[in-house]
Structure 1
């Protein structure tokens, strides 16, 4: 079995790497947070064996890391991950001029100020209450339920809990139903902090691939017919056909049936980071297969409203089965500062969540809830603003990448980002080089379970066109320096959250 370090590096990405290149890759894994401070690394002999390299190469790589403060080595204690003591704290910004592409989030909607003003009488009316709101304000839960109904999923207010964001909602669910040591199915790539939450709750993560290139339809149809035959297929030339954009649905359902994971975490609409949308024809089968496997299906809909020109609106995954647990959030459609989300689930699970929640929080801030009521009352204006901003951001990214030979931007009909193909496994090296040009961008492996997808880079389409143009200019400079054979920078990098 491969060590965790090699899993995160992706052995195929460092074939033939020099000692300096190997140390750079390990440093990137550490600064991405994929290896934790204090975690023990393989011995020089063991790592050399795993990588099929000479021990002297590995020793030299560890020497370089130790000299820069990224590992500590004690006789008899092995080699452990460290951070340079003389550097700035890893969460502090490097400088005021850096552009941070690890955050895929827009600034606030123009309607936020007016909504805040309108919300104040509602907040004032609550002064006579305790101020605690364990399940959420009834009027907000009703507004969220109505939004589900408008999208094709009838919902009542008592099937909703208001939370302090979607990640908070995920942790509440895992606290209530989690089982340490069980398997959790996740897409690869996926939202990094969701994987971290699953690991925190003791799950063993099992990946299933998602991309923007489509998959083997014949294989998919075989599994679909075996899992739940003869429903919701479109007939083309006498044979069933189905859109398989993004997901390898055959693999996903095989994993559900074979591994029977306890939970599955999916992002079916404008998937983060690829932007893909799970076809409606497949949603029914995945939902049914998860139910048959005894898997709790946790669906992240934080990106579901980020449509530019998709041309269709698939029914929510929850419309195909009452057992589906759905997460939502205001942060992507209104503002990241609105730390407010929700859970939609069966009433039985809602009761269980309410019983667990007081162990770590007593509800969601009332001001944010009052503002959210006002914002949800005018969803057309909100979604119109989102569409215009994302369209401008997408155009700016496309224009910025146009002259960068070797990079391919896929169709991006919505979502937070473009999942750019670099044409070669150089994502980590490009991310490192970008720091020298004042650009913070997480490499493709940051979104994976095992150091793969070095050909990919997530570029947000959420910044203003002016800010995006400057970011693309810096990325171009980094790309050109990499193409020219410049060495990877040898200095501390900022460890950032990926949003």
Structure 2
């Protein structure tokens, strides 16, 4: 069984790395949060055996990490992850030392949030005589969410909805209820990193199926469902995170039927479903094709990330099971957020118009910034959270490390995958204000220059044009 470090690195990629490259890859995992401070690394002997490298190579890699402050060796305690106490920046960008974090693809709050909060206060005041606990969610909010599903083509009742503290909270509740340790889970590659972590935490073995800006490899997806018969499948069919792709209606029907035949429970993440700019068509939710499909959603991307409010739509018998499990780790969702959400959902046209305008401006800013970077260009991005770039060479981790030296936090492509792959890819959010995006892309341009200048020594010359 592979160590967690090798699973994160990707055995094939790490096996041919020099000691310096291996140290760089581990450093990237630490900076990206995939290895945590204090976590124990494999012994030199064990890691050498896993990667089929000499022990001296591993020793040199660990020595470099320790010298840079990213590892500490404890007598009798092995080697553990650390962070340097102080870091210096060689950024040429004078006058702005504050980092810009592109690991978070989320907009600031909708302008209507304040007014919705004020309007919600009488509703909240009327609840003061209750216990304040809301295990399933306020009836009026569940009704509003159900009506939204019905308008989108999936007839839904309030009894089929649970209000949660965000979509990730919803997914963890689902997995705590139906999860089976040791079973297999189908996941898209790339996908939302925290969903991968949740599935791993609940003991699933992950089976990736590829997605790109032009969509899913549908034959691979169907074959994997029928051949592996995974217990669960996690899909983001609308404005997929991070590629921005949307699954066509015909494919949705086929996926639902195939999953039903394979005995796979589909968990559909609709957190990004409302993030349309100019897709030009409106697909039917996947839940319309099978009553067994579990759908999770959230207000975080259309209203504000600070509103920790999401939901689950499922059949009533599963709702009952979810409600039986939920008290083991929480007793409901905050009432203030629920009262605000009722007001926001009552004016979805205004909310959607704001989201579209902000995303369009963000997309234009990213496109303009990338136009100034030789070798990179904007892929088709009809909506969603981000642009999914092809760098033309496996330099994503190196670029992410270079970006840190210029005050830019940038998750590399492997952050969105299993097994350390997707080194040619990079996610750039389109959710920041244009002026912030302009600064971020200027910093990316400097980091890209650093990678290109040093690329011949390590990986060969970076192509002058990316393959999209």
TM-score (norm. length: structure 2): 0.91
Alignment correspondent of 1:58: 58
Q: Distance in 1 between matches of 2:119 and 2:6?
A: 54
**SS of residue in 1 equivalent to 2:322:** helix
Q: Deviations over 1:207-249 (max 9, x none)?
A: 111112xxxxxxxxxxxxxxxxxxxxxxxxxxxxxxxx41112
Alignment correspondent of 1:31: 31
Q: Distance in 2 between matches of 1:201 and 1:12?
A: 25
Point out where structure 1 has 5 or more consecutive residues left out of the alignment. Answer: 89-94, 213-244, 489-499
**SS of residue in 1 equivalent to 2:208:** strand
Alignment correspondent of 1:413: 382
Alignment correspondent of 1:106: 107
Q: Deviations over 1:355-375 (max 9, x none)?
A: 111111111111111111110
Closer, same or farther: CA 131–16 of 1 in aligned 2, 3 Å: closer
Closer, same or farther: CA 487–117 of 1 in aligned 2, 3 Å: farther
Alignment correspondent of 1:387: 356
Contact 2:68/2:84 (CA < 8 Å) preserved in 1? no
Q: Distance in 2 between matches of 1:10 and 1:199?
A: 16
Alignment correspondent of 1:162: 163
Cα RMSD (Å): 2.2
**SS of residue in 1 equivalent to 2:197:** helix
Q: Distance in 1 between matches of 2:71 and 2:5?
A: 13
Q: Deviations over 1:433-484 (max 9, x none)?
A: 1011110011110111110000011100000110000000000011111111
Q: Distance in 2 between matches of 1:14 and 1:180?
A: 28
**SS of residue in 1 equivalent to 2:267:** strand
Contact 2:252/2:289 (CA < 8 Å) preserved in 1? yes
* C-alpha displacement of 1:9: 2.3
Alignment correspondent of 1:81: 80
Describe how 1:469-484 pairs up with structure 2 within 5 A. Answer: 469-484=438-453
Alignment correspondent of 2:366: 397
Alignment correspondent of 1:215: none
Q: Distance in 1 between matches of 2:455 and 2:279?
A: 40
Which deviates the most, 339-348 or 19-28?
19-28
* C-alpha displacement of 1:256: 1.4
Q: Distance in 2 between matches of 1:82 and 1:52?
A: 22
* C-alpha displacement of 1:121: 1.0
Q: Distance in 1 between matches of 2:12 and 2:444?
A: 25
Q: Distance in 2 between matches of 1:5 and 1:84?
A: 17
Q: Distance in 1 between matches of 2:123 and 2:456?
A: 58
* C-alpha displacement of 1:57: 3.0
Describe how 1:6-405 pairs up with structure 2 within 5 A. Answer: 6-11=6-11, 13=13, 17-37=17-37, 39-44=39-44, 47-48=47-48, 51=51, 53-73=53-73, 79-84=78-83, 86=85, 97-212=98-213, 245-405=214-374
Alignment correspondent of 2:466: none
Contact 1:426/1:454 (CA < 8 Å) preserved in 2? yes
Alignment correspondent of 2:90: none
Contact 1:408/1:422 (CA < 8 Å) preserved in 2? no
Q: Deviations over 1:36-87 (max 9, x none)?
A: 455554554554565565543332111111223433446776x543113746
Q: Deviations over 1:179-230 (max 9, x none)?
A: 1111111111111111111111111111111112xxxxxxxxxxxxxxxxxx
Which deviates the most, 18-27 or 410-419?
18-27
TM-score (norm. length: structure 1): 0.85
Which deviates the most, 179-188 or 305-314?
179-188
Alignment correspondent of 2:462: none
Does residue 434 of structure 1 match 2:435? no
**Given the alignment, which residue of 416, 437, 457 partners 1:468?**
437
Q: Deviations over 1:10-50 (max 9, x none)?
A: 35545764422221111112332333455554554554565
**SS of residue in 1 equivalent to 2:212:** coil
Q: Distance in 1 between matches of 2:316 and 2:374?
A: 53
Contact 1:13/1:425 (CA < 8 Å) preserved in 2? no
* C-alpha displacement of 1:289: 1.3
Contact 1:430/1:482 (CA < 8 Å) preserved in 2? yes
Q: Deviations over 1:123-164 (max 9, x none)?
A: 111111111111111111111011111111111111001001
Closer, same or farther: CA 86–98 of 1 in aligned 2, 3 Å: closer
Contact 1:30/1:81 (CA < 8 Å) preserved in 2? no
